[in-house]
A and B are shown apart, each in its own frame.
Chain A
Amino acid sequence: MSTAATTLVPARPKGRLGLAAYAAFAALVVALAVGVPTNGYVLNILMQAATFSIVVFGLTVVLGLCGQINLAQAAFFGFGAYAVGLGTTDWGGPFWLWLAVGMVLATAMGALLGASTLRLGGHYLAMVTISFQQIVTLVLINWLPVTKGPDGVGNIPRPAPFLEAHVYLGLCVAILAVVGYLVWRLPDTKLGRAMRAIRDNELAASVAGIDAYKVKVTAFAISALLGGLGGGLFAGGFAYISPDQFSFAESVIFLTMVLLGGVASPIGAVIGTSLLILIPEWLRFLKSIPGLYLAIYGAAVILIVLFMPDGIYGFVRARLERWRRPVARPGNAAALTLSGGGSAGAGTVLELSALAKHFGGLKAVDGVDLAIRRGGVHALIGPNGSGKTTTLNVISGLSRATGGQVRLDGRDITQLPAHARTQAGLGRTFQNIRLWRSMTALENVMIGAERPGSAVANDAAALEERARAALAFVGLDGRADEPIARFSYGHQRAIEIARALAADPTLLLLDEPGAGLNSTEKVELRDLLRRISARGLTILIIDHDMTLVSEVAEHITVLNFGRRIADGYSADVLKHPDVVAAYLGTAPDAPA
């Protein structure tokens, strides 16, 4: 979920030492689970906490990292549990086989559900998952010949070396530790960064080359997978399952668990799960009145969202974060290679032919032709409402062209979605800054550098080095590890440019980079644009500041009312009578 207020940069165990320490700790906990004799009551609570935590990890991934809601986690939990329950008792076959079947089934259903819904806004997903959850409950209750209906499934066996309850608990804890580690590391992987980028700003993620739809479906499928895994283990642990354990109410409990503990980290998931299993045990009298207990959960959800959006763990982390000073690691600006799309020299980088974008009857862009030659800075100017930003949006794929063609390096990209155009070599910044605000400057720029097809995309060290170099190049050397909120407006603009540069684009599109900057910052921007241009990268800039435009651009195209009214060398264009008229109005005709 959105956690713009507090910026969390969890310190994850780096390197082998951290992993070894974690493994040793996990082994100790497993040994304790197996070795310490506990009575059945305590054992049940521990078993529930371990299996539920795995299920709640699923919500950490989909809700915490990717910002997509899933209100059917109990249904996926049910797929795993019923696969193991029915498989091992009715159909025969080993526990592990049915555990795998349940996980595959849950993942497939999750992917299907996500694929049908995730192209649309978040409210669709919430309602569709609620509906799906209701359907699954209906089927579990009514499909008597298979699910045995409300009676549930009993006498579910455990697999061979884990027959004894404490040993089985040890198995669950071991799986919890492994899955927890993977979820913990996920945010720092390419997939995890993509998820966080989508959560913070989906539009910017697409423009950075991330296939947002694919990543969201993946996150949703992972969530369902973990639900299925937890469910299978739960069935083995408790030997009896019934439909009410997989109802909407249970999905709500999972949601409350992840929100209470902290949605952004698996540690939060474990805290939230444990607390919400223990608290009702302490307050047993609440259970005597049906509904009271869930009513409190409902109120708790509202209160958490209002007052503690990052949950218990997020709250604690934010307090600890104050004491942590980021270590300034330098980047090497000179090391930032900008290939400008490869072969330098002459030729056309971007070609628009008869490009049109109509909104109903309004022709925002009305048949614009434009050719941008390789190298140098090309400016697109025009009065307000002349169609500049719309042109840029059509070029970068945020809106679809009504007609005409966009060719990048000779390749027709008119029909490609935004992320594919970035992969093809477009880079852009936004008029209103779109950075991922819960991340550091470095992480923002790393995602840019991660563009599929870039030379460093699959090499973690090279990737980080390139990102640091890009930040150094825009003048932010040594501040790479600070969260976005600590940067001034002008520096945030620079980070956006660094993000685009790190992807090593063929063409850089800048949408009003000078807007809102003071005079010193404007001079810095001008120098930055000159430095970029000197490295051979072609820039297409939109701006209202004529001083900036005339200082950096060799070539200017002027739009008015969606049409091109002038095109040529800067000095000539700015004197063109139509341009003067468009900006200043026409002089009244001399009296006859």
Chain B
Amino acid sequence: MDLVLQLLFTGIGIGAVYALVALGFVLIFRATNVVNFAQGEFSMVAAFLMVLLAVDLEWPYWLAFAAALVGMAVLGAVFNLTVYYPLRHRTYLPVIISTIGASIFLANTTLALYGPQPRVLSGWFDNPGFTLGPVYVDNQYLLIIVVTAALVALQYWFFEHTLLGKKLQATSQDKEMASLLGIRVSTMIMITFVYSAVIGGIAGILVAPILFVSIQMGATIALKAFAATIIGGFGDVAGAIIGGLALGVIETFGAAYVSVPYKDGFAFLVLVAFLIFRPQGIFGERVAEKA
């Protein structure tokens, strides 16, 4: 029983990272109707930026963190202008291929700059954790859970209670109508990409001390986050969060009770099971095409 509680805590912690990246997926999907296959690379690039600033250049942790997020905002903007925006009037396939190209470009440029050796990034706290009853609470996991919860709450407030949030919602629901109402659709899409890159970056920086900082981490996280969005129901914000948490828990238990080397395979099995038996996910994707 103690082990179960411990695994549950760990699973929710890692699941919160998937949820954050999944949130980035969903926001871009809702704004542009395409899946950004480079979403995971945002996390990877941010983790490497942290390694560069906090480890190699020895900046204070908080300053490196802030600078890395500014860097992610710039990356999100450049990404939009080069990878998505020129293709916005084409069908989804060229856009998907373009984001896949970007993902390969980002991962391998990082590889060329940093080499294949994984790097280590220390956590935010010097104190590793504490014991709470039967569970050892790792501070980094706790931080991930708290930050994710705070970001989700902030995002909810932003979308539901600010004018900019409403404009973003309008854009994602009907671009044509939104532009007729005087909303600058291109600006809204730009904001979406910048924001997605930043939360992807936060996820990457938070998870980096748990995993190694490696070139592969982007693809791995993206895959899990994508599976999370399908479990939750594509395009659904609450679904992405619950899907992410569920996947983190499933995976942690799978690794503990079934197999460690195939840990990354569980996400795929869950993904395929959902595709076959409940493709609309827990909350259901709104799919419709006008005749």
Query: What 1/0 flags go to A355-397 for Cβ under 8 Å of B?
Result: 0000000000000000000000000000000000100110000
A240 on interface, CB distance cutoff 8 Å = no
Residues on A with C-beta less than 8 A from B59 are: none
A398, closest chain B residue (CB):
B291
A307, closest chain B residue (CB):
B86
From B100, B215, B291, contact of A291 by CB (8 A)? B215
Residues on B with C-beta less than 8 A from A292 are: 108, 112
Per the 8 Å Cβ criterion, residues 291-308 of A in contact with B are 291-295, 297-302, 305-306
- The docked-state distance in angstroms from the alpha carbon of A252 to that of B37 is 13
Contact between chains at B111 and A302 (CB < 8 Å): no
Query: What 1/0 flags go to A120-142 for Cβ under 8 Å of B?
Result: 11111011101110110010001
Contact between chains at B291 and A121 (CB < 8 Å): no
Contact between chains at A123 and B272 (CB < 8 Å): no
Per the 8 Å Cβ criterion, residues 178-207 of B in contact with A are none
Contact between chains at B110 and A71 (CB < 8 Å): no
Contact between chains at B104 and A297 (CB < 8 Å): yes
Contact between chains at B93 and A131 (CB < 8 Å): no
A contact patch SS: helix
B49 on interface, CB distance cutoff 8 Å = no
Contact between chains at B94 and A2 (CB < 8 Å): yes
- The docked-state distance in angstroms from the alpha carbon of A431 to that of B289 is 13
- The docked-state distance in angstroms from the alpha carbon of A135 to that of B94 is 26
Interface 9-residue window, one of B70-78, B137-145, B149-157, B223-231: B223-231
* A3 → chain B closest CB, angstroms: 10
Given A289-B112, A290-B115, A298-B102 in contact, is the A389-B291 Cβ separation under 8 Å?
Answer: yes
- The docked-state distance in angstroms from the alpha carbon of A138 to that of B216 is 13
* A211 → chain B closest CB, angstroms: 18
* A552 → chain B closest CB, angstroms: 22
* A37 → chain B closest CB, angstroms: 38
- The docked-state distance in angstroms from the alpha carbon of A299 to that of B38 is 13
- The docked-state distance in angstroms from the alpha carbon of A390 to that of B107 is 47
Contact between chains at B104 and A252 (CB < 8 Å): yes
Given A71-B100, A122-B96, A301-B97 in contact, is the A132-B262 Cβ separation under 8 Å?
Answer: no
From A128, A306, A389, A392, contact of B87 by CB (8 A)? A306
* A402 → chain B closest CB, angstroms: 15
Interface 9-residue window, one of B61-69, B123-131, B263-271: B263-271
Residues on B with C-beta less than 8 A from A290 are: 111-112, 115-116
Residues on B with C-beta less than 8 A from A142 are: 261-262
B223, closest chain A residue (CB):
A131
Residues on B with C-beta less than 8 A from A71 are: 100
- The docked-state distance in angstroms from the alpha carbon of A211 to that of B197 is 40
- The docked-state distance in angstroms from the alpha carbon of A2 to that of B87 is 12
Residues on A with C-beta less than 8 A from B276 are: 116
Given A290-B112, A305-B94 in contact, is the A134-B35 Cβ separation under 8 Å?
Answer: no
Contact between chains at B264 and A291 (CB < 8 Å): no
- The docked-state distance in angstroms from the alpha carbon of A511 to that of B291 is 10
Contact between chains at B37 and A295 (CB < 8 Å): no
A259 on interface, CB distance cutoff 8 Å = yes
A486 on interface, CB distance cutoff 8 Å = no
A254 on interface, CB distance cutoff 8 Å = no
- The docked-state distance in angstroms from the alpha carbon of A220 to that of B29 is 25
Given A138-B264, A142-B261 in contact, is the A116-B103 Cβ separation under 8 Å?
Answer: no
Residues on B with C-beta less than 8 A from A389 are: 291
Contact between chains at A305 and B268 (CB < 8 Å): no
Query: What 1/0 flags go to B5-48 for Cβ under 8 Å of A?
Result: 00000000000000000000000010000110100000000000
A203 on interface, CB distance cutoff 8 Å = yes
Interface residues in A, total, Cβ within 8 A: 52
Contact between chains at B94 and A127 (CB < 8 Å): no
Chain B interface extent, by class: 35 or more
Residues on B with C-beta less than 8 A from A117 are: 275
Given A69-B96, A119-B279 in contact, is the A299-B105 Cβ separation under 8 Å?
Answer: yes
* B126 → chain A closest CB, angstroms: 34
* B291 → chain A closest CB, angstroms: 5
A67 on interface, CB distance cutoff 8 Å = yes
Query: What 1/0 flags go to A246-272 for Cβ under 8 Å of B?
Result: 001000100100010000000000000
- The docked-state distance in angstroms from the alpha carbon of A292 to that of B58 is 27
Contact between chains at A131 and B97 (CB < 8 Å): no
From A1, A127, A294, A431, contact of B93 by CB (8 A)? A1
Residues on A with C-beta less than 8 A from B35 are: 123, 126-127
- The docked-state distance in angstroms from the alpha carbon of A490 to that of B223 is 47
Residues on B with C-beta less than 8 A from A298 are: 101-109
From A2, A248, A299, A431, contact of B219 by CB (8 A)? A248
Query: What 1/0 flags go to A386-429 for Cβ under 8 Å of B?
Result: 00010011000010000000000000000000000000000000
B225, closest chain A residue (CB):
A127
Given A117-B275, A302-B98 in contact, is the A127-B226 Cβ separation under 8 Å?
Answer: yes
- Centre residue among B91, B215, B219, B227 by max chain A CB count within 10 A: B91
Contact between chains at A131 and B268 (CB < 8 Å): yes
Query: What 1/0 flags go to A288-331 for Cβ under 8 Å of B?
Result: 01111111011111100110010000000000000000000000
* B60 → chain A closest CB, angstroms: 30
Contact between chains at A135 and B265 (CB < 8 Å): yes
A430 on interface, CB distance cutoff 8 Å = yes
Given A116-B276, A302-B82 in contact, is the A295-B108 Cβ separation under 8 Å?
Answer: yes
From A116, A126, A128, A301, contact of B101 by CB (8 A)? A301
Per the 8 Å Cβ criterion, residues 216-250 of B in contact with A are 219, 223, 226-227, 230
A431, closest chain B residue (CB):
B291
B83 on interface, CB distance cutoff 8 Å = yes
B273, closest chain A residue (CB):
A116
- The docked-state distance in angstroms from the alpha carbon of A131 to that of B272 is 10
* B167 → chain A closest CB, angstroms: 25
B161 on interface, CB distance cutoff 8 Å = no
Contact between chains at B271 and A128 (CB < 8 Å): yes
Residues on A with C-beta less than 8 A from B108 are: 291-295, 297-298
B158 on interface, CB distance cutoff 8 Å = no
- The docked-state distance in angstroms from the alpha carbon of A135 to that of B111 is 22
Contact between chains at A1 and B275 (CB < 8 Å): no
Contact between chains at B261 and A122 (CB < 8 Å): no
Residues on A with C-beta less than 8 A from B159 are: none
From B100, B115, B275, contact of A128 by CB (8 A)? B275
From B223, B261, B279, contact of A134 by CB (8 A)? B223
- Centre residue among B87, B275, B276 by max chain A CB count within 10 A: B275
Per the 8 Å Cβ criterion, residues 89-141 of A in contact with B are 116-117, 119-124, 126-128, 130-132, 134-135, 138
Given contacts A126-B35, A203-B291, 11 further A-B contacts (CB under 8 A): A69-B97, A120-B275, A126-B96, A131-B271, A134-B219, A134-B264, A291-B112, A291-B116, A292-B108, A302-B101, A430-B291
Could you write out 30 A-B pairs with CB less than 8 Å apart?
A2-B90, A67-B93, A116-B276, A120-B279, A121-B92, A122-B93, A127-B223, A128-B275, A131-B268, A134-B223, A134-B264, A138-B261, A203-B289, A255-B97, A289-B112, A290-B116, A294-B111, A295-B104, A295-B109, A298-B101, A298-B104, A299-B101, A301-B100, A301-B101, A301-B105, A302-B101, A302-B105, A305-B94, A309-B94, A430-B291
Which 8 residue pairs are nearest across A and B when measured between Cβ atoms? A291-B111, A301-B101, A298-B105, A298-B104, A295-B108, A291-B112, A123-B35, A294-B108
